[in-house]
Amino acid sequence: MKSSESALARQPLAWRSIIERYALLALVIAEFLVFALNPVSGDIFVSALNLRTLIANQGVALMIAVALVFPLAAGIFDFSVGAVAASSSVVAGAAIVNFGLPVPVAVALGVVFGSIVGCLLGLMIAYGGVNPFIATLGVATLIGGGIFAYTGGLRITGIPPEWTDLGSRDWFGIPRIVIVAGVIAFVAWWLLSQTVFGRRLFAIGSNARATQLLGADVKRIQLLAFVASGTLAGIGGVLLLARNGGATSDNGMMMLFPALTAVLLSTIVIDIGRPSVPGVVIAILFIAITVSGLTLIGTPSWVNQMFNGAALLIAVGVARLAKQRTGTAPRRA
């Protein structure tokens, strides 16, 4: 009798858990249907061209957001990923156009640049004890200024089709850039969820002291998290170069905020209280569909800006609530 009563009591909790984990996914589907059936936006919104553009534009955003997941899993916010991506784009573009290096070598240099920045940040924060907010924002400002100084505010053009085709053409009807980003995101998911490194990384985010007492090298794992973050941001930068067909002097902040919003929203999807790659994918689709739909129904540009700001504030709030429920929280700067 008691066991049956206990089972009945658990049923509402199980349904509540399912609803909480997949509410954002349901919202994505619902808003897609709303914009698709809207008489103003419907025909254009569901057109093959618009859907392809919408998806292709998220390849870079996915890389930058996934780059944020690694340090955030350890409880640390990294505000440098946007600037790292932008600077990696400039490094690769300059290597091709200004120094005449082969495309594969230039692309590798862009990614390695991101890895080096991530390694330096990891050393500063994990081993040097520098405040993460100061370190990541300071590095972002430094390399952002370096980009502008090198380019003089001018765009680097002349990237050969050998690389730009990755950002503009398809494989099997799917944008190439999305396939590449998807494969790399899958590898990141595997590292975070299926390896000892990933489990220890999340354990550090929950309780670094306890994880250290259990024998984990906390500083080394934090360093590797920043190296992974910098590498992924570097990949995002070279994909940005392919997508845009050139590199600009942008400091990367406009790429940081949507990625940060997506990562924070991912903590309320699937694995409540933890950032996750599948959650990031769902959150990016939510942001992209909303912005595209609002644009197509003719809303002023300031509405999109307000949405991005509101989404970030809401994401911070719900992420904090999710962390409190699971007993973990990102390290305050």
Map out the domains of the chain as residue ranges.
Answer: 23-326
Q: How confident is the model at residue 333 (pLDDT cuts 50, 70, 90)?
A: very low
Question: With contact defined as beta carbons under 8 Å apart, do 69 and 325 qualify?
Answer: no
Give the pLDDT confidence of 205-262 residue by residue, as tens digits. Answer: 888 888 888 888 999 999 999 999 999 999 999 999 999 988 887 777 788 888 888 9
Residues 6+ apart with CB under 8 A from 7: none
Percentage of the residues of the chain whose pLDDT score is greater than 70: 89
Question: With contact defined as beta carbons under 8 Å apart, do 311 and 261 qualify?
Answer: yes
What is the pLDDT, as a whole number, of residue 9?
A: 46
Q: Name the more confident of 11 and 269.
A: 269
Q: Answer yes or no: is pLDDT of 311 > 50.
A: yes
What is the pLDDT, as a whole number, of residue 230?
A: 96
Mean pLDDT of 118-144: 94
CB neighbour class for 156 (10 Å; exposed up to 12, middle 13-18, buried from 19)? buried
Average pLDDT taken over every residue of the chain: 86
Domain topology for 23-326: ABC transporter involved in vitamin B12 uptake, BtuC (1.10.3470)
Sign, Cα dihedral of 222, 80, 131, 330 = negative
Mean pLDDT of 92-109: 95
Mean pLDDT of 105-119: 97
Cα radius of gyration (the chain)? 21
Question: With contact defined as beta carbons under 8 Å apart, do 141 and 79 qualify?
Answer: no
**171 three-state secondary structure:** strand
CB neighbour class for 318 (10 Å; exposed up to 12, middle 13-18, buried from 19)? middle
Tokens encoding 265: 């929203």
Q: 81 φ, ψ to 5°? A: -60, -35
Q: 250 φ, ψ to 5°? A: -60, 140
**298 three-state secondary structure:** coil
Give the pLDDT confidence of 124-135 residue by residue, as tens digits. Answer: 999 999 999 999
Q: Answer yes or no: is pLDDT of 277 > 90.
A: yes
